[in-house]
Amino acid sequence: MPIDPAPVPSPGPAPGEGTAGLAELLRRASRGDEAAFADLYDRTSTKVYGLARRVVRDPAQAEEVAQETYLAVWRQAARYDSAQGGPLAWILTIAHRRAVDRVRSAESARERDLRFAALGDGSDYDMVAETVTTSLEAARVRRALASLTEVQREAVLLAYYGGYTYKEVSELLDVPLGTIKTRMRDGLIRLRDALGVER
């Protein structure tokens, strides 16, 4: 009765393009397998870096966020718990939090106001929507975002890409805190359902 079977390097096709493959790579990385980690990097780096760019804007800082993210992923790979979400979500959560922390601590109030002006009125969303027509995945995301009400989308994107806390969003939009909380949660529920993410 094998208790903890070692992973057998399979000569066949890679074990799926999806999350099962990433979970296996994380498992191997947690045991110090640098080649598996390189593979993991190759399969996730456009998202980690892209998300960092989206939040911190500055390319050099986005690189630093990505760098810190992967060092954290390498160190904490053994602590990934599939019960709490997919491996990609875990990695992106680390990246997002680092990006947001950076934006919040480094930025003056004035810069934040300017950033808000640049982000406001959903123009960021429109810009994104324009630039994504090529990829099927992106089109799917675009449709899912479009299923949110405008105020839900605004609250979700200001927090996720703008790095604002819900209290800041509430102040910026002059909408009560409870309303913002609800818009964020309801928006994510719609988004999740539109994307067909398993509950």
Partner 1 sequence: MNDENADIHTLSGAYALDALEPGERAAFERHLEACEQCRDEVRSFGDALSVVVDESAQEPPERLRDSVLAGITAVRPLPPVTHDSPDDVVVALRPVRRRAVTAALAVAAAVLGVALAGTAWRTVTLQDEVSRLSAAAADVTTVLTAPDARIATATATTGGRGTMVMSPSSGQVALVTDGLAPVPAGKTYQVWFVGRGSVVPAGFVDGGTAGTVLTGHPDDAVAIGVTVEPRGGSPAPTSDPFLTIAIPAA
**Binders of partner 1 in range 10-39 (CB under 8 A):** 29-32, 34, 37-38
C-alpha 91/C-alpha 192 separation (Å) is: 18
Q: What is the number of other CB atoms lying within 10 angstroms of the CB of residue 33?
A: 16
Q: How far is the CB of 196 from partner 1 (least distance, A)?
A: 9
- Specify the residue, 15 or 142, whose C-beta has the smaller distance to partner 1: 142
Kindly indicate which of the ranges 7-15, 99-107, 112-120 contains the residues binding partner 1, using the contact rule CB under 8 A. Answer: 99-107
Q: Which of 100, 104, 123 is nearest to 112 (CA)?
A: 104
C-alpha 177/C-alpha 168 separation (Å) is: 9
Residue 21 has which token pair? 């493959």
* Residues 50 to 79 in contact with partner 1, rule: CB under 8 A: 50-51, 53-54, 59-64, 66-72, 74-79
Q: Which of 89, 117, 118, 146 binds partner 1 (CB under 8 A)?
A: 89
* Residues 135 to 194 in contact with partner 1, rule: CB under 8 A: 135, 137-138, 140-142, 144-145, 156, 159-161, 163-167, 169, 178, 180-189, 191-192
Residue 158 burial (CB < 10 Å; 0-12/13-18/19+)? buried
Our measurement of the distance from residue 86's CA atom to the centroid of its chain's CA atoms, rounded to an integer in Å, reads: 12
Q: Which of 15, 41, 43, 112 binds partner 1 (CB under 8 A)?
A: 41
